Amino acid sequence: MYLRHIRLACLTLLLVSAARAGAANVDHPSIRPGERFEGPLFNVVAPKSEGWVGLSRNSSGMAFARHGATEPDSDVAALTVFQIPADSSPEEFLSQITVGTAKEVPAPRFEVIRSRIELSQARPYTCVKYEATSIDHGKSTLFSKKQPLQLQVVALYCRHPQRPDLGFAVSYSHRGKALSTAIEVEAESFIDSIEVVSPQEQPNKSYMDSSRQTRE
């Protein structure tokens, strides 16, 4: 059960969201650059560039998306919360994330070009850094044939420091005809902006009803 939660935590959201990002923005609220959302477990800061919309916002996390400079390019930034075994070691956590992410890019639709996953010391608690570049061959229909698209993902999976039974993934992805040369900088900025909140600070807020603030 835990592996299923891990598998669904990040990459499924990214792939589905990337597809939805190609749709019209009218169904999704516009997000100000650096807009801040406060919740019971995390403070989430939207990407600081223009053109982002909100895709989802609930107790399981948040997701933002934007159109690329050309069709069908899109970017997705997301925070997702998921359940994990409370007593797993850092090495076991790494193994769980490794298995879960591998199953999210199955052949023949996805052709993995490059992948790296390792324990990270980016934060003072257990985290795993994941980076991958794949070719998404998509699905052809009776009326059209999808062109292959480049899919880049940068993600940080962590165990919540106050809740050992919870993990969270902060992810940034780009999907388009060409690779993004800015994804490392943009992903690092978004990942670093996610703040873990102690229970004493905001015990009664949820992402559904929290106030929207803009980072100065």
115 Cα distance to chain centroid: 16
Q: What is the DSSP letter of 74?
A: E
Tell me 30's DSSP state: B
User: Which tokens belong to 141?
Assistant: 């229909």
Q: Report pLDDT for 17.
A: 44
CA distance 75 to 64: 8
Two tokens, residue 30 = 């516009």
Residues 6+ positions from 195 with CB-CB distance below 8 Å: 42, 43, 45
Among 198, 5, 216, 212, CA closest to 100: 5
Return the amino acid letter for 88: S
Asked if residue 213 is part of any domain, the answer here is no
In a domain, 201, yes or no: no
Residue 203 covered by a domain: no
- Looking at residue 200, what is its pLDDT? 64
The pLDDT score that the predictor gives to residue 12 is 46
User: Is residue 205, in this structure, part of any structural domain at all?
Assistant: no
pLDDT at 21: 45
Q: Catalogue the E-assigned strands of the chain.
A: 35-38, 42-45, 53-58, 61-67, 74-83, 110-120, 127-136, 149-159, 166-176, 195-196, 212-214
Q: Please state, for a pLDDT cut of 70, what percent of the chain lies above it.
A: 76
Residue 43 lies in a domain: yes
What is the structure's pLDDT at 216? 40
Distance CA 12, CA 3 (A): 13
The total number of structural domains in the chain stands at: 1
In sequence order, which ranges of 10-120 are alpha helices (DSSP H)?
11-21, 90-102
Residue bearing the bigger pLDDT, 142 or 54? 54
Burial class (CB in 10 A: 0-12, 13-18, 19+), 27: exposed
Residues 6+ apart with CB under 8 A from 54: 28, 29, 30, 31, 62, 63, 64
In a domain, 158, yes or no: yes
Cβ pair 76, 64 in contact under 8 A: yes
Domain-embedded: residue 216: no
Q: Which domain holds residue 90?
A: 2-196
Average pLDDT, the chain: 81
Residue 69, domain CATH: 3.40.1000.10
5's enclosing H/E stretch is helix 2-9
In a domain, 90, yes or no: yes
